[in-house]
Amino acid sequence: MTQTDPDWWRGAVIYQIYPRSYQDSNGDGIGDLKGITARLDHIARLGADAIWISPFFTSPMKDFGYDVSDYCDVDPMFGTLADFDALVARAHDLGLKVMIDLVLSHASDQHPWFKQSRKDRVNDKADWFVWAEPKPDGTPPNNWLSVFGGPAWQWDARRQQYYLHNFLTSQPDLNLHHMPVQEALLDAARFWLERGVNGFRLDTINFYFADKYLRDNPSLPPELRNDSIAPKVNPYNHQVHLFSKNQPENLDFLRKFRAVLNPFNAAAVGEVGDAQRGLEIMAEYTSGGDKVQMCYPFEMLQPTRLTAGALVETFARMQAKAPDAWPCWAYSNHDVIRHVTRWGLSDAAARSYTVLLMCLRGSVCLYQGEELGLPEADVALEDLQDPYGIEFWPEFKGRDGCRTPMVWVSDNASGGFTTGKPWLPVDARHLGRSVAAQGDEAGSMLAHYRHALAFRRAHEVLRTGAMDGIAAAGDVARFLRRGDEVLFCAFNLDEKAGSVALPDGTWEQIGTELGSVPVDAAEIHLPGWGFALARQA
């Protein structure tokens, strides 16, 4: 694809980098932009189309960069704007697009906007955040809850009002009902696009607006609660978040955002955090060609393993609610337990799920270390950094276990990540799965990921084609991909053997380098975690 192709994002494989943990270039134990630049060859060789870098903006780091205090600068711990420019240039030289994480729903309480806003009720930034009067008894204005636990309102003595925070109290929510706020955020996007960025991952895209009347959220019956957004121990799961997010005003803002993207042929993928309406919201936000191109749903980030039945049900729901939506699927990211551990996968199972991901309609996000088959790291309480985990320990251990440093070599305790003390300890079990240990091993997990990404790239139908005929028979899922060729894909998502009927017609086996089984009979035998890939002749 050319640099100017406006549809470069469709079917792309996007590699997520958590900058604190990718590569440290100066020995302070924290990853940085120069470190990322030095390791971009690994991502290019893997076969990814783009990188997504989690926040590196100026921040007090209460939520590790998701609390921004300057949208248009680099935090010194990560480097400088010149370092970022060098990263973009090197990525583009390697044929990689660059996406960065924009956090537009909330800022840091150290942002100059908030410092001014909280001074009084009449200053130029007075309306830039969501402020509200207390109830007559002094309690918060409504029953909204924070994703990180407790009320979503914090009292401020200076203004004698509450401010909204859907996350930490140090992350006040911006008031996007106020047009100057929208313009300031759009200007921040333009700033990075003009520096060569190819797109954005939009954090908590459905939290941008809150109900202007601040109505109470209704309760959610216990039988409907799940822990896809927040851990079970968090009362956030006790509400239908009808008014604290998912507001209709967001659609017009996303149209404005798309208008900023279009001149740059840039793309955006929105993170939709909603346990009840995720696919419906994805449909709203990606429909019509005038909002974001992709959304990042949570259906495959669930605690429970993706089964054949769940896969079919997910695509059936998407067909019913969002037939034209473009999802960006992921099994792992910086907020959830790594899927190898979360789902209890053997190497054989992990390999099958990898190929499945590459065969689904949509784009794909891979999380750093996923290509090595890394399990969730075991982080002791005394080493925890994540405020979320510290709050809910031990029932929920937080997100540090998936954020430990990338392992490049096996012959030192930090895995080649740093010459100093890493900000989070490296799990000793990871060292044997380092890039160096796997790099030249033909049957390694890393080699398997390289083959899987090359297979997707070699078959354009997997990137942009239609998907139909999806069905499940027991633990075996099957579907067709249609475009410039027709492919048959079947996956046994269980350790016990299964079988699947080959569709009528003449078929030839493909994907042998991935481990695809022969398709020389009408009934295909699939060993445990086996899969069949075939092309219609």
Both tokens assigned to 159? 């203004």
CB atoms within 10 A of CB 371: 27
- Mind telling me the catalytic residues? 203, 271
Complete DSSP assignment for 54-94: PP-EE---TTTTSS-SEEEEE-TTT--HHHHHHHHHHHHHT
Whole-angstrom distance, CA of residue 480 vs CA of residue 139: 56
Specify whether the CB–CB gap between 177 and 104 falls below 8 A: no
Closest CA to 357 of 406, 401, 306: 306
Angle between helices 278-286 and 308-321 (to 10 degrees): 40
CB burial of residue 289 (10 Å; 0-12, 13-18, 19+): exposed
Tokens 């636990």 belong to residue = 149
Q: What are phi and psi of 435, to 5 degrees?
A: -60, -45
Tokens 């899927």 belong to residue = 339
Whole-angstrom distance, CA of residue 89 vs CA of residue 494: 44
Half-sphere exposure of 325 (CA within 13 A, CB side): 28
